[in-house]
């Protein structure tokens, strides 16, 4: 009797990382490995890392320590963005056998040999620089949703960000390749495709076409039920793109616009490519055409030089911006960035206070948005059951909805009336 070797995966960070981990997992499947849950005993453990913040770094290190503790005999691979920037640091952690950079992570079998534990870890990390290679990736692990990588890298060089160092210059997949991937995905019965990347609004700019050209082709050449865009920079979300999504029922009325600050002075220090007035214009145009669209934003608090008055501007801007949900991050110095060398560091206690205020505001914004959608009928893609005999799914405008479990509704898009917000904040609905 042949016993399959077991492999476990753990992904940190963005949707792009999840798509790339899924691609790596398929390589192991092709080699006859059995996938097990992270935390279970395994023969090989692969951790795909993130380094966007100091908190992300800490989560990566904790995951590595957990894997070494739970599966001390496992061949431990650490790969991705953190590995690209801090290979020696990660190679020095107990239990690590192989460290792979952003490009090398797709070549685990070239570097791992027989997957035997090593006394000296292998480190394979090449310079990213002006790299133009594109590694296609997509996920198939879920029954209902697939993340498809359409773009990688970034040319924006925001003063706080290490992504260009970890992933290189902006580059895109050929549109035809994406079309082929989506056609394959839809044959698996998957209902929703999320188009993801580092800066997807930059799609096609070094070749021919644009993000709008791509989604027009996806609309005419594929039959998947729903598409959703991941984060798009405000300066790259033009009116034509907004109008196309507003006029097409297959594209979710959901936008995520990285804001980072509601103060123009701080945006300039961050080297962002827009002003608060441009952000306001984009949100207003979305809401004009799609009054109930879900609009998310990111904000960083405690950036070097952010004064109490600057923070007050951000707070007021967010209260008036008309967004639907908010992700809050506390600034942390990243080695090699301009912001890391700036003066005017905000004390940790002050950053914590500002973060707490913003998290409270985020709760208010989300509740206000959910309350405004009660009584409406939305199309929900139901994903799975929970242990309480209920199932959940997401509306097109990205509201998580729960209702009584109905096996026939799982992996289908159905009309649901949003009826109440439970004490735990969950929106409950009734299938129509």
pLDDT of residue 424: 85
Which residues on adjacent β-strands are paired with residue 299? 260, 328
- Position 131 scores a pLDDT of 63
Tens-place pLDDT, residues 290-341: 999 999 999 999 999 999 999 999 999 999 999 999 999 999 999 999 999 9
Residue whose C-alpha is closest to residue 260's, from 208, 313, 219, 224: 313
Q: Which CATH architecture has domain 145-373?
A: Alpha-Beta Horseshoe (3.80)
What's the CA gap between 279 and 367, in Å, rounded? 22
DSSP state for residue 201 in the 8-state scheme: G
377-431 in CATH: which number?
2.40.50
pLDDT level of residue 141 (50, 70, 90 thresholds): low
| Number of residues in the chain | 432
Least confident range of 9-13, 17-21, 368-372, 408-412: 408-412
Angle, nearest 10°, between helix axes 308-320 and 348-373? 10
The mean per-residue pLDDT over the stretch 389-410 comes to 92
Q: What is the pLDDT of residues 347-393, one digit of tens each?
A: 999 999 999 999 999 999 999 999 999 999 999 999 877 767 899 99
pLDDT tens per residue across span 183-210: 999 999 999 999 999 999 999 987 768 9
3-state secondary structure of 295: strand
Q: Where are the domains of the chain?
A: 6-124, 145-373, 377-431
Rounded to whole angstroms, the Cα distance separating 394 from 387 reads: 18
CA 256, CA 202: separation in Å to the nearest integer?
A: 15
Whole-number Å distance between alpha carbons of 106 and 109? 8
Residue 376 burial (10 A CB sphere; 0-12, 13-18, 19+): middle
List, in order, residues 6 or more apart from 167 with CB less than 8 Å away: 81, 84, 102, 128, 152, 153, 154, 198
Domain 6-124 of CATH type 3.40.50.12160: yes
pLDDT tens readout for residues 265-286: 999 999 999 999 999 999 999 9
pTM over 0.85: yes
The pLDDT value recorded for residue 1 is 43
Alpha carbon distance 130, 354 (integer Å): 37
| Alpha carbon of residue 13 to chain centroid | 6
Of 332, 330, 331, the C-alpha closest to 359 is 330
Window from 62-66, 165-169, 233-237, 352-356 with minimum mean pLDDT: 165-169
Confidence of residue 221 (pLDDT cuts 50, 70, 90): very high
- DSSP-based three-state secondary structure for 381: strand
Q: What is the DSSP letter of 346?
A: P
Please list the alpha-helical segments (H only) found in 71-112: 81-85, 87-91, 108-111
What pLDDT does residue 2 have?
Answer: 58
| DSSP labels, 400-411 | EEEEE--GGGTT
Rounded to 5 degrees, what are φ and ψ at 341? -105, 0
| Chain mean pLDDT for the chain | 94
């Amino acid at each position: 009797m042949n016993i399959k070797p077991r492999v476990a995966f753990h992904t940190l960070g963005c949707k792009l990382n999840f798509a790339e981990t899924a691609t790596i997992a398929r390589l192991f499947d092709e080699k006859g490995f059995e996938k097990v849950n992270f935390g279970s005993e395994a023969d090989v453990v692969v951790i795909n890392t993130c380094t966007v913040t100091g908190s992300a770094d800490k989560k990566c290190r904790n995951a590595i320590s957990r894997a070494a503790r739970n599966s001390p005999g496992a061949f431990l691979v650490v790969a991705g963005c953190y590995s690209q920037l801090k290979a020696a640091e990660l190679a020095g952690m107990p239990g690590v056998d192989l460290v792979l950079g952003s490009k090398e992570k797709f070549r685990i079998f070239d570097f791992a040999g027989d997957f035997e534990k090593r006394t000296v870890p292998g480190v394979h990390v090449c310079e990213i620089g002006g790299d133009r290679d594109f590694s296609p990736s997509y996920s198939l692990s879920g029954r209902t949703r697939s993340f498809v990588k359409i773009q990688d890298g970034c040319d924006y060089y925001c003063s706080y960000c290490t992504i260009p160092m970890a992933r290189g210059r902006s580059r895109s997949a050929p549109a035809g390749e994406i079309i082929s991937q989506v056609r394959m995905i839809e044959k698996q019965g998957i209902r929703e495709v999320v188009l993801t990347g580092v800066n997807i609004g930059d799609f096609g700019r070094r070749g021919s076409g644009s993000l709008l050209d791509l989604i027009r082709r996806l609309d005419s050449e594929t039959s998947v039920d729903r598409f959703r865009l991941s984060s798009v920079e405000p300066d790259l979300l033009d009116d034509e793109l907004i109008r196309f999504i507003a006029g097409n029922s297959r594209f979710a009325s959901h936008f995520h616009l990285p804001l980072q600050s509601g103060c123009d002075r701080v945006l300039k220090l961050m080297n962002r490519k827009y002003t608060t007035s441009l952000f306001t214009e984009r949100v207003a145009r979305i809401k004009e055409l799609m009054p109930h669209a879900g609009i998310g934003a990111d904000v960083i608090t405690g950036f070097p030089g952010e004064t109490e008055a600057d923070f007050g501007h951000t707070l007021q801007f967010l209260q008036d911006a008309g967004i639907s949900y908010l992700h809050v991050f506390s600034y942390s110095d990243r080695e090699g960035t301009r912001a890391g060398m700036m003066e005017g560091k905000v004390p940790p206690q002050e950053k914590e206070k500002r973060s707490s205020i913003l998290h409270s505001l985020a709760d208010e914004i989300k509740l206000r948005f959910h309350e405004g959608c009660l009584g409406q009928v939305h199309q929900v893609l139901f994903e799975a059951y929970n242990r309480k005999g209920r199932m959940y799914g997401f509306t097109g405008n990205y509201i998580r909805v729960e209702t009584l479990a109905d096996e026939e509704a799982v992996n289908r898009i159905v009309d649901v009336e949003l009826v109440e917000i439970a004490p735990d904040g969950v929106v409950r609905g009734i299938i129509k």
